[in-house]
Amino acid sequence: MAAALVVAAAAAPAARAQVSGKVTVTEAGGKEATDVGNAVVYLDRGPRANPVRVEMTLDGRNFSPRVTIVPVGSTVVFPNRDPFNHNVFSLSDRNSFDLGLYGRGEKAEHRFRQPGVVSVFCNIHPRMVGFILVRDNAYFTQPGADGSFTIPDVPAGSYTLHVWHERAPEVTQQIVVPEGGLADLSVALDASGYKYVQHKNKYGREYGSGATRERY
């Protein structure tokens, strides 16, 4: 089933224009996903945002947060809070990296110079997965736990709205933002066709028998 987007536009009463609405993610059986806050909402164009420095912690064989958004040129630091080694890497186009092996209390970092979706893994623990969305403009956000989102300070004009989630096809929709902004956007993502596929290690090979036990 294709992902669907329903847009209902209304002039926002606030003086500062904004684009706001709500995201839902539906899983197999019509069940509403509980991790809608891991979605990312962004517009296709806009001014550059200043680079930032953020952390994606390695803790309990997980990346925390699992999903983060940063502007182009930003640095993500990966502190290891686990009592064992990790090897953070990505083979994503234009943003591939390998931080090597490091232990508890240590950290490594990488600067992201190109826009795109970066899938992040550990070469030791196959269940570990995180996502970094690198954006080339300032108009992006993540929904709250209830799926609500707001992108502030958006000038009037035509844009392409993108909504991404790791288990659903990305949704895009042309929108026109009036002077007063847009409110009550309703964005529905369909994750019912998602099937788990174990990623490969940094050498492009299977992790081995441990991959089943480590499944996230």
pLDDT tens digits along 111-136 = 999 999 999 999 999 999 999 999 99
Task: Name the range with the highest mean pLDDT among 2-6, 11-15, 39-43, 211-215.
Answer: 39-43
**% of the chain residues with pLDDT over 90:** 88
**Residue 141, helix vs strand vs coil:** strand
Confidence at residue 65, expressed as pLDDT on a 0 to 100 scale: 98
What is the average pLDDT score of the chain?
Answer: 91
Confidence at residue 183, expressed as pLDDT on a 0 to 100 scale: 95
pTM: predicted TM-score of the whole model, two decimal places: 0.89
Instruction: Quote the CA–CA distance of 111 and 131 in Å, as a whole number.
Output: 14
Instruction: Band the pLDDT of 208: cuts 50, 70, 90.
Output: confident
Instruction: Quote the CA–CA distance of 156 and 11 in Å, as a whole number.
Output: 11
Which domains are seen in the chain, by residue range?
A: 1-47+139-216 (2.60.40.10), 48-136 (2.60.40.420)
